[in-house]
């Protein structure tokens, strides 16, 4: 489907222009500021939704503008009316079939037909590599680039976090100094502690026994002193001699009994030296502390290994996605032989698109535009003045080979090329560009 005729009234700089194109290349020419861009905008505005239309589509001084586009199978009429209450405009669209029947949802019908009418081959060739890559994604519909990018971005961030945690764990492990001769198993202190307690009890009993013997020796001494005093009393108290004698005898007997016990008592054992036990416990604590540090270090290292393994798994997942994406891209049917996807760039015959020759870039861009417009075989080119005569001949050949209708805007003051515009009017129509023409 191509444009059979275009009528634009009061659109931007145009007053009333009617164009009936012939051939595959439709050149809109004239000096700067004469309305060439308004013609290409009229085509686009007739078909696109209202959101794509500029703020001032109506020619200054007019209250209403109209675009009628005949596509053979359908006819499109878009009308603009200036609001009476102030700035702004309203727009409406009507789409009729070949027999005059109107479509109930005209914009929805056009959206399905439109594809990428706004695609400009020259604009594509001048795009940054990343934007070219984005524009051609639709040729690989089975690959959800955004989902893959989001998944990779999430895995990359998680992998970065895991690697950071792993480094932290390894740093924590390295900060713990464990001598190589640290025992494998913790030292059991319970026996040493029990031995220390037993020694303490023994020494405590020894002190108590020594105290008791000292007290008994004092008691014996005191008793002998009493006996001596009592014997002195005998002399003085003869009446009490008998009684005192008996009491003295008893006391002497008790003293003798005590002395015999002391004489027969075994020698006190030597005190137990607790210093070695305390030292052994301290050494056990030191060894157990080293073992605990080694266990902490090993736990850090184990966690680091786990985090690194998880990071490796994320790396493999991202690699698998990229390999699947590359496989799908390699299997995709591209509109131009030699066109493929590189790492975020479009490749043409194995090299980045912007490194291909001008002729190769132009041919590929036109072919891409044709592929993006399978139903409506129309594309538009702004800044056509950038193309020299050789490039224009190539463009005409491409349009013929691809069965495309190319509307191109070119600055020309000669008045001898294409549809010549002057001050918003179609001044004259010249012979269209022919394939192979000089």
Q: What is the pTM of this model?
A: 0.59
326 and 389 together in one domain: no
* Percentage of the chain lying above the pLDDT 90 cut: 36
* pLDDT score, position 438: 41
Decide if 135 is inside a domain.
no
Decide if 341 is inside a domain.
no
Lowest-pLDDT range, 220-224, 326-330, 373-377?
326-330
Q: Which segment, 12-21, 323-332, 370-379, is predicted with the most confidence on average?
A: 12-21
More confident residue, 247 or 57: 57
Find out whether 297 and 176 touch, Cβ atoms under 8 Å.
yes
pLDDT above 60 (res 118): no
Domains in the chain, number: 2
More confident residue, 300 or 109: 300
151 and 107 together in one domain: no
Mean pLDDT within 372-376: 79
* pLDDT score, position 29: 92
182 and 288 together in one domain: yes
- Domain with 384 in it: 5-119+373-429
* pLDDT score, position 430: 65
169 and 314 together in one domain: yes
Give the model confidence (pLDDT) of 179-234 as tens digits: 988 888 888 888 888 998 999 999 999 999 999 999 999 999 999 999 888 778 77
Decide if 361 is inside a domain.
no
Decide if 113 is inside a domain.
yes
**Average model confidence (pLDDT) across the chain:** 86
291 and 236 together in one domain: yes
Domain boundary among 306, 331, 356: 331
Decide if 90 is inside a domain.
yes
55 and 158 together in one domain: no
46 and 184 together in one domain: no
Mean pLDDT within 392-421: 88
Mean pLDDT within 154-183: 91
């Amino acid at each position: 489907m191509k444009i059979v005729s275009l009528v634009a009234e009061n659109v931007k700089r145009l007053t009333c222009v009617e164009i009936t194109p012939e051939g595959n290349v439709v050149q809109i020419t004239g000096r700067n500021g004469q309305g060439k861009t308004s013609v290409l905008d009229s085509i686009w505005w007739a078909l696109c939704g209202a959101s794509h239309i500029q703020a001032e589509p109506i020619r200054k001084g007019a209250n209403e503008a109209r675009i009628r586009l005949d596509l053979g199978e359908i006819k499109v009429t878009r009308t603009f009316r200036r609001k009476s209450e102030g700035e702004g405009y309203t727009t409406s669209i009507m789409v009729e079939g070949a027999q005059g029947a109107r479509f109930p949802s005209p914009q929805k019908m056009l959206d399905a037909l439109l594809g990428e009418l706004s695609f400009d081959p020259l604009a594509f060739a001048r795009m940054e590599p990343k934007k070219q890559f984005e524009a051609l994604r639709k040729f690989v519909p089975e690959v959800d680039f955004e989902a893959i990018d989001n998944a990779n971005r999430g895995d990359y961030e998680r992998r970065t976090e895991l690697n950071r945690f792993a480094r932290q764990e390894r740093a924590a492990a390295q900060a713990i100094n464990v001598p190589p001769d640290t025992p494998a198993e913790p030292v059991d202190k319970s026996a040493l502690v029990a031995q220390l307690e037993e020694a303490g009890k023994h020494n405590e009993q020894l002190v108590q026994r020594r105290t008791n013997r000292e007290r008994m020796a004092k008691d014996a001494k005191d008793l002998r002193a009493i006996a001596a005093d009592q014997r002195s009393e005998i002399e003085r108290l003869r009446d009490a001699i008998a009684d005192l004698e008996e009491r003295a005898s008893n006391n002497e007997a008790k003293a003798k009994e005590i002395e015999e016990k002391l004489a027969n008592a075994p020698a006190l054992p030597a005190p137990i030296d607790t210093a070695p036990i305390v030292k052994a416990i301290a050494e056990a604590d030191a060894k157990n502390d080293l073992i605990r540090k080694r266990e902490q270090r090993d736990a850090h290292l184990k966690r680091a290994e786990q985090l690194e393994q998880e990071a490796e798994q994320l790396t493999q997942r991202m690699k698998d996605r990229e390999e699947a994406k590359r496989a799908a891209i390699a299997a995709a049917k591209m509109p131009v032989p030699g066109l493929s996807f590189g790492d975020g760039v479009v490749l043409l015959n194995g090299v980045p698109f912007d490194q291909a020759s001008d002729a190769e870039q132009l041919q590929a861009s036109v072919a891409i535009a044709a592929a993006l417009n399978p139903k409506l075989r129309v594309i538009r080119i702004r800044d056509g003045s950038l193309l020299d005569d050789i490039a224009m001949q190539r463009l005409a050949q491409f349009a013929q080979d691809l069965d495309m209708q190319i509307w191109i805007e070119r600055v020309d003051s000669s008045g001898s090329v294409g549809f010549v515009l002057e001050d918003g009017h179609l001044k004259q129509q010249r012979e269209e560009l022919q394939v192979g023409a000089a």
